[in-house]
Homo-oligomer: A and B are copies of this chain.
Amino acid sequence: MVTSSAARRPETPRQYDAYDPSCPSRGLFDRLSDKWVGLVVSALGDGPLRYTDLARAVAGVSQKMLTQTLRTLERDGLVSRRVTPSVPVRVDYELTPLGWTLMPLLYAVKEWAEVHMAEVESARAAYDADR
């Protein structure tokens, strides 16, 4: 008989807790809440993109922050970087399989912001009216 506690909880073998500041997953969650990560990952949800195209898609991002964000995502195994040594050089970024599991979640938040923007704006107006 092999009734481990894991067997009773088929999913979510909770060993990490993002609420705990000392848990590594807290740091990871913070990274995912980064200013540019959501937009970059969402943009790559439409397929691979060259550096410049990514910069155009995520309008307003500086070179520095785009590169820095991509490096971190690459290190975390969410994005892969492929260099084509042409002249000039061509660099494509693409979501890894792991990245693809995250993309829909961040994309959903982005969509939520777009869909509910009007409601939030009227909530703000109502709030501000009281003071």
Q: Taking the complex as formed, is A60 at the interface, i.e. its CB lies under 8 A from any CB of chain B?
A: yes
CA–CA, A72 and B102, complex, Å: 26
CA separation between A74 and B18, bound complex, in Å?
A: 23
Interface set, chain A 34-93, CB cutoff 8 A to B: 34-35, 37-39, 43, 57-60, 74-78
Complex contact A113–B16 (CB within 8 A): yes
Q: Is the CB of B123 within 8 A of A25?
A: no
Task: Provide the residues of chain B in CB contact with A110, threshold 8 Å.
Answer: 18, 29
Interface SS of A by simple majority = helix
Q: Tally chain A residues at the interface, Cβ within 8 Å.
A: 55
Shortest CB distance A62–B (Å) = 11
Are A38 and B33 CB-contacts (below 8 A) given A109-B105, A127-B75? yes
Partner of A33, one of B33, B111, B119, B123: B33
- What are 15 of the A-B contact pairs (CB < 8 Å)? A16-B115, A18-B110, A19-B59, A26-B60, A33-B33, A33-B37, A74-B127, A75-B123, A76-B120, A76-B124, A77-B119, A77-B124, A105-B109, A105-B112, A109-B109
